[in-house]
Amino acid sequence: MKYIKISAIALLLGFAATACHQSAGEASAEQGSEENNENGTIYLSPEQMELSEIVLGQPTVRKIASYIECSGRIDVPPSNIRSVHSPVTGFIQQINHLPGEYVRRGELLASIAHPDLIRLQREFLESAGKIVFLKKDMERKKELADADAASRKAYEQALSDYSVEDAHLNGLKAELGLIGINTQALEETRQVQQSIRIFTPVAGYLVKVEANPGKLVEPNVLLFEIVDNSHVHLELEVFAKDLGKLKEGQQVLASIPGSEEELRGQVHLINKSIDLEKKTANVHVHLDKEPDNLAIGTFLYARISTESREAPTVPEGAIVRSGGRSFVFVKEGERFRKVEVETGETDKGFVEVKELNLQEGQQIALKGAYYINGTE
């Protein structure tokens, strides 16, 4: 019986101690909450200030640049892109390269054959042989006409026949030269080529190969596209509303998504024509240093520096952002007050702050603002 009484008393004492502990904890929490919400301010003890490494100071006036943000791509001048077509209708016999290969000027790309090539050369050889006879006939009749041994009309007819055939021969010579057949060698050797060969007009990379052996091609069909990347630039798309802020020589900083590489350059040319669908205009940028191993057409983001001006700034770590709003913490005695501010441009780790009215000597948290924000 005594043991039962003792157990009951111990149990009651335990309940009482727990209740007192909970009441003390709740009271402490309420006191801390009231302390950090008094007049909308936050209190940090000296130990907390030291532990969080909070740095106090005032906004500093520094030069800060304004930027226009845009997107674009790596490109080359139109003169560095060559489209290769067949000069005649024909069948492709062989292809010597694959897309992505680097080709040197004068390398063989493909050969093309067609019966019309043979016919054209045969016609040229026939005309070349015929013109010799017509020229001698004209000269003979001219001598006879001058000596009144033949009619003037016969000479004039011979002259006409020679002139017509000469024009025909020169036309065939130009046509054959255009498709790559050496007419002088053809006339000397009288060896007819069954095919023509297509060579690379410039050194560069094959970005398109639209041909395969046996394919019938015509002059209007693209066979190859070669890009000479010895000079690359940036082609940016800037919205029409920002064009008034641009001028030649402005600095450009570009970055490629997923890469830490940065490209720097200057605005070289601003296109005066606006794309009515995109509401943008192209801006041509020359690079300070041309990149290595970047494909033509690589997408990138860029910032164009439009002006430099002096403005009050704070480090980015002094700004706390929440719900699209920006705040700083102003030191007031032993407390911090959370004050909303309007921010402007960001440049080299500093943020422009507008209309932050501090009293003389008053400071803000330049470092550790997120720690203070977490103690609210």
Quick check: helix, strand or coil at residue 2? helix
| Stretch among 113-117, 183-187, 271-275, 306-310 having the lowest mean pLDDT | 306-310
Asked if residue 323 has pLDDT above 70, the reply is: yes
Asked whether the predicted pLDDT for residue 37 surpasses 70, the reply is: no
Residues 131 and 103 in one domain: yes
Whether residues 145 and 245 fall in one domain: no
- For residue 334, tell me if it sits in a domain: no
Encoded tokens for 285: 């940028």
102 plus 218 within the same structural domain: yes
Residue 72 sits in the same domain as residue 117: no
- Give the N- to C-terminal CA distance of the chain in Å, as an integer: 55
Is 176 in the same domain as 90?
yes
Domain final residue pick, 171, 195, 227: 227
β-bridge partners, 313? 60, 352
* 108 and 191 inside one domain: yes
Q: Is residue 52 part of a domain?
A: no
Mark which of 211, 227, 243 sits at the end of a domain: 227
In a domain, 359, yes or no: no
**Cβ-based burial of 364 (10 A; exposed 0-12, middle 13-18, buried ≥19):** buried
Q: Which residue has the higher pLDDT, 372 or 304?
A: 304
pLDDT digits (tens, 9 = 90+) for 7-18: 333 333 343 344
Residue that finishes a domain, picked among 308, 333, 357: 308
pLDDT of the residue at 38: 52
Determine the average pLDDT of the residues in 369-373: 82
Residue 205: inside a domain: yes
Residue with tokens 């997120």: 370
**272 and 214 share one domain:** no
Q: Is residue 354 part of a domain?
A: no
Structural domain includes residue 352: no
Read off the pTM. 0.59
Torsion of the alpha carbons at 144, 150, 154 and 158, rounded to the nearest 10: -20
- What is the domain-level CATH number for residue 247? 2.40.30.170
| Residue 72, in any domain of the structure | yes
Q: Is residue 168 part of a domain?
A: yes
Domain count, the chain: 2
Partners of 199 in the beta sheet?
Answer: 108
Q: Is residue 274 located within the same domain as residue 243?
A: yes
pLDDT digits (tens, 9 = 90+) for 106-127: 999 999 999 989 999 999 999 9
Are 117 and 185 part of one and the same domain?
Answer: yes
Rounded distance, CA 264 to CA 349, Å?
18
Residue 216: CATH number of its domain: 2.40.50.100
Shared domain for 86 and 223, answered yes or no, is yes
Give the least confident one: 67-81, 296-310, 327-341, 345-359.
345-359
Q: Coil, strand, or helix at residue 44? A: coil
State which residues form the domain around 261: 67-78+231-308
**Segment among 3-7, 47-51, 93-97, 269-273 with least mean pLDDT:** 3-7
